């Protein structure tokens, strides 16, 4: 894995000038992912925060060949590009090695883009797909998605007298991708650059479809102070709400284990969308989440041990 100094010397492929919010985790994720790849890259990106903020005509923050896909088909688009590349390579029209990366937010990955994602994984395209998961449809008004945590406040699951926020548990897309039988699946955060860079570097060396899901704090939809982005992502790991692990050929391996597992309330304290869970009258909701986080963590520990 390259050192931070070596990465700093590489030319950035996702550059300044975009209109992402101050403190947006997604921009950090884009930059780190592309810095981790030391070969030519072609990328597709679903409609979402990153797309609308990085390509305001006539400007672009992408210094690589890049294609804007519709909300639902980033995985299909990058699969088609990879298939065309293989044809050109067989015909002798291209001789250099190229890495293909698909990007999408949680709405364009967990929900509306899942069909294209599942199809690309099943076909086994030699593609890396990266989901920057900010846990709601942030670009279109902070509506709940399949990745929104239980009891989180959004504009379509508002906290009030009727419901205490979203009433369903979030979708476990990482395990769903593992079930596809693809060679590499992982989780990461922007707050641990070495973890993310290492996993991207490892993924692009593996032939076949790869999936990495990165928690991407959203200072507008969560909301939180812009300067807390990295701390919030790291705290998600320390509370085991967002464990860091990888699954290589079906085998689970933790890539970080907290020395002291913190209560989920520590993560909630920094975000407005969970403010109601810290009220005395909602202690039962907080306890419900803690129990489920503990259960999933123990389950992951067993999978990693085996």
* pLDDT per residue as tens digits for the range 69-88: 999 999 999 999 999 999 99
* pLDDT per residue as tens digits for the range 110-167: 999 999 999 999 999 999 999 999 999 999 999 999 999 999 999 999 999 999 999 9
Other residues' Cβ atoms within 10 Å of the Cβ of residue 8: 10
Confidence of residue 4 (pLDDT cuts 50, 70, 90): confident
* pLDDT per residue as tens digits for the range 270-293: 999 999 999 999 999 999 999 999
Of all residues in the chain, the percent with pLDDT exceeding 70 is 100
Other residues' Cβ atoms within 10 Å of the Cβ of residue 263: 14
Contacts of 33 (CB under 8 A, 6+ apart): 101, 103, 130, 196, 200
CATH number of the domain bearing residue 279: 3.40.50.970
Domain count along the chain: 1
For the chain, the average pLDDT equals 96
* pLDDT per residue as tens digits for the range 159-217: 999 999 999 999 999 999 999 999 999 999 999 999 999 999 999 999 999 999 999 99
Rounded mean pLDDT of 219-232?
97
- Interatomic CA distance for residues 72 and 112, integer angstroms: 5
Other residues' Cβ atoms within 10 Å of the Cβ of residue 1: 13
Looking at residue 275, the DSSP 8-state letter turns out to be: G
| Residue-level pLDDT at 135 | 98
* pLDDT per residue as tens digits for the range 20-77: 999 999 999 999 999 999 999 999 999 999 999 999 999 999 999 999 999 999 999 9
Rounded mean pLDDT of 254-261?
97
Question: In terms of residue numbers, what domain contains 14?
Answer: 4-305
CB 183 within 8 A of CB 210: yes
């Amino acid at each position: 894995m390259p050192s931070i100094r070596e990465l700093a010397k590489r030319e950035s492929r996702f550059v300044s000038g975009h209109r992402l919010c101050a403190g947006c985790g997604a921009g950090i994720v884009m930059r780190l992912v592309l810095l981790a790849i030391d070969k030519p890259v072609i990328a597709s990106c679903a409609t979402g925060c990153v797309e609308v903020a990085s390509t305001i005509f006539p400007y672009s923050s992408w210094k690589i060949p890049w294609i804007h896909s519709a909300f639902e088909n980033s995985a299909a688009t990058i699969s088609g590009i990879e298939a065309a590349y293989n044809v050109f390579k067989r015909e002798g029209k291209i001789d250099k090695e190229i890495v293909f990366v698909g990007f999408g937010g949680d709405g364009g990955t967990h929900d509306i883009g899942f069909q294209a994602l599942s199809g690309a994984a099943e076909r086994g395209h030699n593609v890396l797909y990266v989901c920057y998961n900010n846990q709601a449809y942030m670009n279109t008004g902070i509506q709940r998605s399949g990745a929104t945590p239980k009891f989180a406040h959004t504009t379509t699951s508002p906290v009030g007298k009727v419901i205490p926020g979203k009433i369903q548990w979030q979708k476990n897309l990482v395990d769903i991708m593992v079930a596809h039988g693809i060679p590499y699946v992982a989780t990461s955060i922007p707050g641990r650059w070495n973890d993310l860079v290492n996993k991207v570097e490892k993924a692009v060396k593996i032939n076949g479809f790869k999936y990495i899901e990165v928690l991407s704090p959203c200072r507008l939809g969560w909301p939180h102070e812009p300067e807390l982005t990295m701390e919030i992502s790291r705290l998600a790991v320390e509370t085991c709400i967002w464990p860091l692990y990888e699954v290589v050929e079906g085998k689970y391996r933790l890539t970080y284990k907290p020395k002291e597992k913190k209560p989920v309330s520590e993560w909630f304290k920094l975000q407005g969308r969970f403010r109601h869970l810290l009220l005395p009258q909602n202690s039962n909701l907080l306890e419900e989440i803690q129990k489920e986080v503990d259960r999933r963590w123990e389950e992951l520990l067993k999978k990693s041990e085996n």
